[in-house]
Amino acid sequence: MDEVFKIGLIGYPVSHSASPQIFGEIFKNNHITKGSYHLYPIETLDNIISFVLEHPNLIGFNVTVPHKQNILPYLTSISEHAQKIGAVNTVKIIRKNSGISLEGHNTDYYGFEASMLNLPKRPNQAMILGDGGAAKAVKAVLTDMQIPYLSVSRNPNSDQLSYEDLNDHDWQENTLIVQTTPVGMFPNVHDTLNLPYQFLPNSTMAIELIYNPKQSLFLKKIKANDCFFMNGELMLQKQAEMAWEIFIQS
């Protein structure tokens, strides 16, 4: 791309994000000299259309918590994949004389799929902590891989478990725990979810979507049980690479 352009991340908070560094590497690897990546801390999406109009060089933006589902009503179109998941983390901006169009996509699917392929073995089942936009992508990947899962929420519906339920849970061998919530994310590094870590078999595996800090209190407790664990760095990298392809496609 020869013209000057911007890409960004909207969410709240966003100051912890590694996306500027990752996209900086993408720009470097693709010999892009006129592109830049920006963090936009946006608490609500009430003025998102005005925001896009006020940034004429913005070609698209990534979406993080708490807006992966909140963004849906503002989109002109949603990819089939994102529609199936019910959440969007990548928005491409189409600018024409008649106005702007916002295309919604979900690249979290590809990022989490890459993480799954880096596990030491195939899980027998999974337990998903949290029920936000990222959890929806996780569920889609697990469904496509035919791995059964349970979902845990602070406000569970009839199909979910509460964190209190986990105290009496029969933990099976080769269970994958996927931590999709922001609990323990910088700067709240001393927070963690209330799990009975002491009962986890050492065949348990864990993927946490947080990547700052690199090893949260949750992962430290998993590590203490001599279990395999992975943070969200690989997922972030792979979803960013896919988002870049979406941003630049004509």
> In sequence order, which residues have a C-beta less than 8 Å from that of residue 216 and are 6 or more positions away?
184, 185, 189, 192, 208, 210, 231
Distance CA 143, CA 78 (A): 21
* Domain identity same for 201 and 115: yes
Q: Are residues 132 and 78 in the same domain?
A: no
Tokens of 184: 């323990």
My answer on whether 79 and 137 are in the same domain is no
What does the pLDDT read at residue 8?
Answer: 97
> What is the domain range of residue 188?
109-232
Count structural domains, the chain: 2
Q: Note whether 23 and 54 are same-domain residues.
A: yes
Same domain, 97 and 143: no
Side by side, which strands form the sheet with 175-179?
Answer: 149-152, 125-129, 175-179, 205-208, 228-230
The pLDDT tens digits along the chain (250 residues) read 666 999 999 999 999 899 999 999 999 999 999 999 999 999 999 999 999 999 999 999 999 999 999 999 999 999 998 999 999 999 999 999 889 999 999 999 999 999 999 999 999 999 999 999 999 999 999 999 999 999 999 999 999 999 999 999 999 999 999 999 999 998 999 999 999 999 999 999 999 999 999 999 999 999 999 999 999 999 999 999 999 999 998 6
pLDDT at 98: 84
Q: What CATH number is attached to the domain comprising 205?
A: 3.40.50.720
CATH of the domain at 91: 3.40.50.10860
Nearest residue to 236 via CA among 68, 79, 57, 17: 17
The predicted structure's pLDDT at residue 1: 62
Per DSSP, 172 falls in state: P
Q: What is the DSSP letter of 171?
A: P
Q: Which two tokens stand for residue 72?
A: 């849906």
* Together in a domain, 172 and 117: yes
Query: Are residues 141 and 74 both part of a single domain?
Result: no
Active-site residue, from 68, 92, 139, 221: 68
68 an active-site residue? yes
pTM of the entire structure?
0.91
Residues 6 or more apart in contact with residue 204 via CB below 8 angstroms: 171, 174, 175, 176, 177, 222, 225, 227, 228
Q: How crowded is residue 168: how many other Cβ atoms within 10 Å of its Cβ?
A: 8
For 31, residues 6+ apart whose C-beta sits below 8 A from its C-beta are none
Distance from C-alpha of 187 to C-alpha of 247, rounded to nearest angstrom: 30
153/64 same-domain check: no
Q: What is the pLDDT of residue 191?
A: 96
- pLDDT at 2 (0 to 100): 61
Q: What is the largest CA-CA distance in the chain?
A: 61
Which pLDDT value is given to residue 250? 67
126 and 73 in one domain? no
